[in-house]
Amino acid sequence: MSATANIVHEAVEIDVDLLETSANHLICLIKPTWVSKKIIFKKLGTDDNNIYYSVYPNDHEDEKHGVVVKVYPRNSDVYTDHQKELELIEQFFHHGIAPRILLTFINGYFSSYILGQTLSIKEDHTHQLISQKLAEFHSISLKFKNGLHFVDKLKQFIDLFTKKNINLHNRLIEIKEEQEKSIDKNPSVFTTLKSAIGLNTTPTLALTLEQLELQLKDTTWATLSTEIDFIQSIFETNWSKHNLPMVLCLNNMNIHNFLYDSKNKTMSIIDFDHCSYNYFLIDIISYFLEIAKDDYDNNYPQRHIQK
């Protein structure tokens, strides 16, 4: 039986642009006492790829008494297995890592509220708190069948630019049919692709897969795929001989993916979209790069912080 079998599911789709009207019915299924109350929707974070809102009635003192709704980016199912994500979150909940899922719908889910604030990546204590949470996360043993490894996930993204991803090809055709009257008749290839996989909120006229291929003729995706294979060989040849453990990694070390509740002294993880089996060092290196951002020479953490 699936880990999400006992979670209520409604076969409806929420329009994020009409959230207040399209989500009200579902909210009242979770919180029947809110039927006659005005509901407040507050967007969490600034990442358009992770659409989260806190939802709470206006007569409550603050939003911690509410719930959280996540709406999947449009067409994100071409690169993310949302059902597997839900099953992971449900298991993480039982380990005290993730919020409880209250209800799912076609393009998202409601969960219990997560207390906490985003920490400053410039503060040393932030690194300590995140490293402790990460060590706890890496130590969890889950029943995770057919879980993709990190290299497989990388190849999935590369396939977005090739003919291997049939789902994306079909979506591009659908989008073109829907948006032939779009104002933007000459979108860039990356704008088109971002629109197709839900990372672009501005409607664009979709290119066919052949047009995408033509515009990408100078980009050697085959070479890039080969380089990923080379990375994998380095992992297997050099890292495995040192007995580095392969664990379930976040693969998303963005500082906004962590919330700290200073009152209860607890750290929470928000998003699990990119979880996969990986060498634990990859998460750590990813966090170092998150600290450095675009100024690697000046911001990459010094040795005492790395330790």
What CATH number is attached to the domain comprising 39? 3.30.200.20
**According to the model, what pLDDT value does residue 196 have?**
46
Same domain? For 140 and 263 the reply is yes
Classify residue 299: in a domain, yes or no: yes
Classify residue 18: in a domain, yes or no: yes
**According to the model, what pLDDT value does residue 107 have?**
93
**According to the model, what pLDDT value does residue 238 have?**
74
Classify residue 2: in a domain, yes or no: no
**According to the model, what pLDDT value does residue 185 have?**
53
Same domain? For 199 and 262 the reply is no
Classify residue 100: in a domain, yes or no: yes
Write phi, then psi, for 267 (nearest 5 degrees): -110, 135
Same domain? For 90 and 27 the reply is yes
Same domain? For 183 and 286 the reply is no
Tell me the pLDDT of the chain (307 aa) as tens digits.
566 778 899 999 999 888 888 999 999 999 998 988 888 898 886 666 678 888 998 876 666 778 999 999 887 887 778 888 898 899 889 888 889 999 999 999 999 998 888 888 778 788 889 999 999 999 988 765 555 577 777 777 777 666 666 666 676 666 666 666 555 555 554 454 445 444 444 444 445 555 555 555 555 666 777 888 887 788 777 776 777 778 889 988 888 889 898 888 888 898 888 888 888 888 988 888 887 776 666 666 666 666 6
Same domain? For 251 and 129 the reply is yes
**According to the model, what pLDDT value does residue 307 have?**
62
**According to the model, what pLDDT value does residue 70 have?**
94
Of 9, 46, 38, 33, nearest in space to 21 by CA: 38
Q: Reduce the secondary structure of the chain to three states and give it as a string.
A: CCCCCCCEEECCCCCHHHHHHHCHHHHHHHCHHHCCCCEEEEEECCCCCCEEEEEEECCCCCHHHCEEEEECCCCHHHCCCHHHHHHHHHHHHHCCCCCCEEEEECCEEEEECCCCECCCCCCHHHHHHHHHHHHHHHCCCCCCCCCCEHHHHHHHHHHHHCCCCHHHHHHHHHHHHHCCCCCCCCCCHHHHHHHHCCCCCCCCCCCCHHHHHHHCCCCCHHHHHHHHHHHHHHHHHHHHHHCCCEEEECCCCCHHHEEEECCCCEEEECCCCCCEEEEHHHHHHHHHHHHHCCCHHHHCCCHHHHC
**According to the model, what pLDDT value does residue 110 have?**
96
For 30, the domain range is 8-112
Same domain? For 242 and 298 the reply is yes
**According to the model, what pLDDT value does residue 227 have?**
80
Same domain? For 102 and 21 the reply is yes
Same domain? For 136 and 263 the reply is yes
**According to the model, what pLDDT value does residue 201 have?**
45
Classify residue 255: in a domain, yes or no: yes
**According to the model, what pLDDT value does residue 10 have?**
95
